[in-house]
């Protein structure tokens, strides 16, 4: 065996992992697969390399990154202190789609945290990411590997087509299994709160903690780096009630729009008069897995308008609804 086989059957050679680790040591950028989305990684302790991430993404330097580490047992090396609930969540969910915000340890440069005294940390659950972290030995600061404000990549080809030569090395670990970003939990205090819903469900987190989490709605809290227009395709996204999706899509198409329509699972009609028609899967896991691919397909096929509805906001549906709302949110003027 020469490879480290991911679930999709894509084979990454050990020599690729070693080469990618060398690129990180040399201050370069590596796109790496995780179970959520692809990340654009740099040595978390190299401020110059971290700064390159921001310039490649076109991301304002005040927006903090996530530091990926190889295992829960090394958490203490990256943060000032680990309150009991944070320790419990780390042990139960890592490797996995959960990011913990904790007090920044001294080895984390302020460049990686957008100047904050807290740092976001997670252990990704992907064999290629874990192999790279192990070969590299340090922490990898990585935001999603897309340009600022656009849809996160869930395949290596998404990364290549969006960032191209700006990345020094792309590790192809196949399509991301989860498909939406990690859940971000502020665990600095005794009562953890959700800053961004994601791949780890609130229900699962609460089951482990044995009590409800505080959940900030996007209007209540200004999490750095989370603008309403994040996760947006180029096409305008309009959300309507599930039973109105087809009628609204057909009307807009008749009015001359190139409409992409996300037909809800409650509708059996897929013979819709629209430019691109996708059927939303009934399972939330399957929906999360497909969501960003749908949004990219609409752009690729030239849709100027997307009509969709929100899923029931429980389990992974919470993260999906959050991303759809943001995709439909007001665009930055610049
Ligand atoms: O699944 C994921 O989380 C993916 C993969 C690559 O790990 N990463 C990801 O990174 O989504 P990014 O940069 O696109 O989103 C990270 C978000 C920031 O936008 C910010 O909202 C939040 O994490 N964040 C990071 N550090 C923080 C901090 N110290 N306090 C509050 N929020 C923080
Ligand atoms: Mg992102």
Q: What is residue 263's three-state secondary structure? A: strand
CATH class of the domain comprising 3-215: alpha beta
DSSP 181: P
| Tokens found for residue 257 | 């729009």
Tell me, in angstroms, the distance from the centre of ligand 1 to residue 40's CA.
Answer: 12
**Residue-wise pLDDT tens for the chain (334 aa)?**
445 555 556 778 999 999 999 999 999 999 999 999 999 999 999 999 999 999 999 999 899 999 999 999 999 999 999 999 999 999 999 999 999 999 999 999 999 999 999 999 999 999 999 999 999 999 999 999 999 988 999 999 999 999 999 999 999 999 999 999 999 999 998 889 999 999 999 999 999 999 998 876 544 445 555 565 667 889 999 999 999 999 999 999 999 999 999 999 999 777 899 999 999 999 999 999 999 999 999 999 999 999 999 999 999 999 999 999 999 987 654 3
CATH class of the domain comprising 236-327: alpha beta
Q: Which ligand is nearest to the CA of 193?
A: 1
Tell me, in angstroms, the distance from the centre of ligand 2 to residue 37's CA.
Answer: 9
86 lines ligand 1 (CB under 6 A): no
Q: Is-same-fold flag (3-215; 236-327)?
A: no
| Tokens found for residue 324 | 């759809």
| Tokens found for residue 79 | 């943060």
Q: What is the DSSP string of 39-102?
A: EEEEETT-HHHHHHHHHHHT--TTSPPEEE-S-GGGGGGTBS---HHHHHHHHHH-SSSEEEEE
Neighbour tally for 315: CB within 10 Å: 17
Show me where the domains of the chain are located.
Answer: 3-215, 236-327
């Amino acid at each position: 065996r020469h490879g480290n086989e991911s679930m999709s059957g894509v084979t990454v050679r050990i020599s690729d992992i070693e080469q990618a680790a060398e690129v990180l040591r040399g201050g370069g950028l590596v796109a790496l697969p995780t179970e959520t989305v692809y990340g654009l990684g740099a040595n978390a302790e190299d401020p110059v390399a971290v700064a390159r991430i921001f310039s490649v993404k076109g991301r304002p330097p005040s927006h903090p990154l996530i530091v990926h580490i190889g295992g829960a047992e090394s958490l203490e090396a990256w943060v000032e202190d680990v309150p009991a609930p944070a320790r419990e969540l780390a042990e139960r969910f890592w490797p996995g789609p959960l990011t913990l915000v904790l007090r920044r340890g001294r080895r984390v440069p302020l460049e990686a945290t957008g100047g904050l005294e807290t740092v976001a940390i997670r252990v990704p659950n992907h064999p290629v990411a874990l192999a790279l972290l192990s070969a590299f030995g340090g922490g990898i600061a990585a935001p999603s590997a897309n340009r600022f404000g656009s849809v996160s990549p869930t395949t290596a080809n998404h990364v290549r087509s969006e960032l191209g030569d700006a990345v020094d090395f792309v590790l192809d670990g196949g399509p991301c299994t989860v498909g939406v970003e990690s859940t971000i939990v502020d665990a600095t205090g005794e009562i953890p709160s959700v800053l961004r819903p994601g791949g780890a469900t609130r229900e699962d987190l609460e089951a482990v903690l044995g009590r409800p989490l505080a959940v900030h709605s996007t209007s209540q809290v200004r999490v750095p780096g989370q603008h309403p227009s994040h996760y947006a395709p180029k096409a305008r996204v309009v959300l309507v009630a599930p039973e109105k999706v087809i009628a609204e899509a057909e009307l807009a198409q008749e009015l001359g729009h190139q409409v992409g329509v996300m037909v809800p699972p409650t509708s059996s009609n897929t013979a819709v008069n629209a430019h691109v028609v996708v059927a939303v899967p009934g399972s939330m896991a399957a929906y999360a897995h497909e969501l960003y691919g749908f949004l990219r397909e609409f752009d690729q096929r030239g849709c100027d308008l997307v009509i969709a509805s929100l899923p029931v906001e429980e389990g992974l549906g919470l993260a999906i609804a959050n991303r759809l709302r943001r995709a439909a949110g007001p665009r930055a003027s610049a």
